[in-house]
Chains A and B, each alone.
Chain A
Amino acid sequence: MYSYEHKVFIKKNKNYKLLVNFCQFTLIIFFIYLWQFLADKNYINVFILSSPKRIIDTLIKLHISNNLYHHILITIYETMISFILGTVIGFFIASLLWWNKFLFKVLEPYLTVLNSLPKIALGPIIIIWGGAGIKSIIIMALLISTIITIINVTEYFNNIDQNKLKLLKSFNANKKQIYFKLVFPSAISGIINTLKINISMSLIGVTMGEFLVSKEGIGYLIVYGSQTFNLNLVITGVIVLSIISALMYYIVFYIEKKLKH
């Protein structure tokens, strides 16, 4: 049994949360309503700015022509492939760099440069290497997610608690034991942050790749829309993309919650 004071505290907390949710919901409804209102009254040019009703129409058209899910699935598929490959490759290379400090010192400046280089600049080269298909898209996404993973995980590996290292050394642990007993498991519990970053990096990379080369996927829909001056399609694409990224974020968020318990 809780005291009256505690109940009041819980209730206050709950009300506060409810209020936040309510305002979030109201804000988006208000925004959609305002958008539609301005469009109806011709205060804004629907040809350039579209309107909620037109977006719904576009979605229905895509649904009827059966294209929508195809494009969504393609984008998700490409993102997942790059996400998983990027995480695994990035982790592997970071482990190598931890293992060989010298190699790390040598490669460090190159990694920094690669990381700050806008990967889109490599687009034309990637197309020549990978052709105008899914391969190029995944290469593009991998470039982004792998490098950021390497940098994050290496940082994590290099910040392992010195005292814990000392403890293992006092047991005469060899390097392999240090890696598997301490370095890797510590990084695993911190990996979720890398995953969060990585999933959005993969989506960014995939979208960029689809802008460049593809014939399918949400990125392609957006580019196609802009080329045919169909701004309804462009904005619909952007909205679908933000829904996908929100979904993916919440999946990782959910996994994180599960892991913490």
Chain B
Amino acid sequence: MKNILSIKNLRKTYHTKNDEIVAVENFSYDFKEGNIIAIVGPSGCGKSTILNIIGNLINKSDGELIFNDDCKIGYMLQEDCLFPFRTIIKNCLLGLEIKKEISSKNINYANQLLKKYGLYDFKNKYPNTLSGGMKQRVALIRTLVCNPNLILLDEPFSAIDYQTRLLLSDDIYKIIKEENKTAILITHNIEEAVALADNIIVLSNRPSKIKNIYTINLFDKSIPSINRRDKNFNYYCDLIWKDIDFNV
């Protein structure tokens, strides 16, 4: 399999008035196309920092990022970030509008996704009429309509309830696999990482270095909700749990 992205010796130092914080140090990893790679680690260790650098939202201090030529990034944030003054469909098309890629084909795709997620009837409504899970789905559609092949997910489920969370992870998993996309998932939930990911990177405390890398081999790899019942599931959870230095 090709690499969609290779990171070599990444370092990020934040400079503030009274301090200098090394958030990431010596981070190297090859992201394989078609995989779901989860990054787990204690909170504040620098996970979002890595994702923001990949998404070109902040500058790196040092190191190298080599993207595959046809790499198109889509970013899904922790909050849904829907614009309250835009209708649902208009929210879905925001990214396309900004990239000036509005076309009837793309609009069709957005409508198709809205139907698939049971949001079509709310198309012309405003976000304040939706539940948290629905909003997060709209955010997912907004990311997908731009047709990215590398999707960055920064704790995309942390703001929603457990039930919706399981359903959404199944959905996201299916989309990523069906459409042969690559995803980098940040989470502090170990079970979620094991259920979704092909590879898991465990980070140490700040400045985050790679502590361990796992390839998840389940007996019968399927959608996340079924993976959770796999025999090997708990084995990996335990392993990773012991790896993380939870600073209590």
Interface residues of A, Cβ cutoff 8 Å to B: 161, 163-164, 166-173, 177, 181-182, 185-186, 188-189
Chain B residues at the A interface, C-beta cutoff of 8 Å:
55-57, 73, 75, 77-79, 81, 83-85, 94-95, 97-99, 146
Contact call A167/B81, Cβ cutoff below 8 A: yes
Secondary structure dominating the interface of A: helix
Judging by beta carbons under 8 Å apart, are B79 and A177 in contact? no
Task: Known A181-B94, A181-B97; judge A171-B146 contact (CB<8 A).
Answer: yes
CA distance A161 to B55 in the complex (A): 19
Given contacts A177-B98, A185-B85, A189-B85, contact A170 B55 (CB under 8 A): yes
Q: Is the CB of B77 within 8 A of A185?
A: no
Query: Are A168 and B98 interface neighbours, CB within 8 A?
Result: yes
A163 adjacent to B77 (CB under 8 Å): yes
A166 → chain B closest CB, angstroms = 6
A163 to B98 Cα, complex, angstroms:
17
Given A166-B57, A167-B75, A173 and B81 contact (CB-CB distance below 8 Å): no
Assuming the contacts A163-B77, A177-B98, A181-B97, asked whether A169 and B83 have C-beta atoms less than 8 A apart, the reply is no
Contact A171 B83 (CB under 8 A): no
Q: Which residues of B contact A164 (CB under 8 A)?
A: 81, 83
In the complex, are the beta carbons of B57 and A170 less than 8 A apart? yes
Q: Given A182-B83, A186-B85 in contact, is the A167-B99 Cβ separation under 8 Å?
A: no
Q: Contacts of B81 on A, CB cut-off 8 Å?
A: 161, 163-164, 166-167
Q: List 6 A-B contacts (CB under 8 A).
A: A166-B77, A170-B55, A171-B94, A172-B99, A182-B83, A185-B83
Nearest CB in chain A: distance from B58 CB, A: 10
Give every chain A residue within 8 A of B97 (Cβ-Cβ): 181
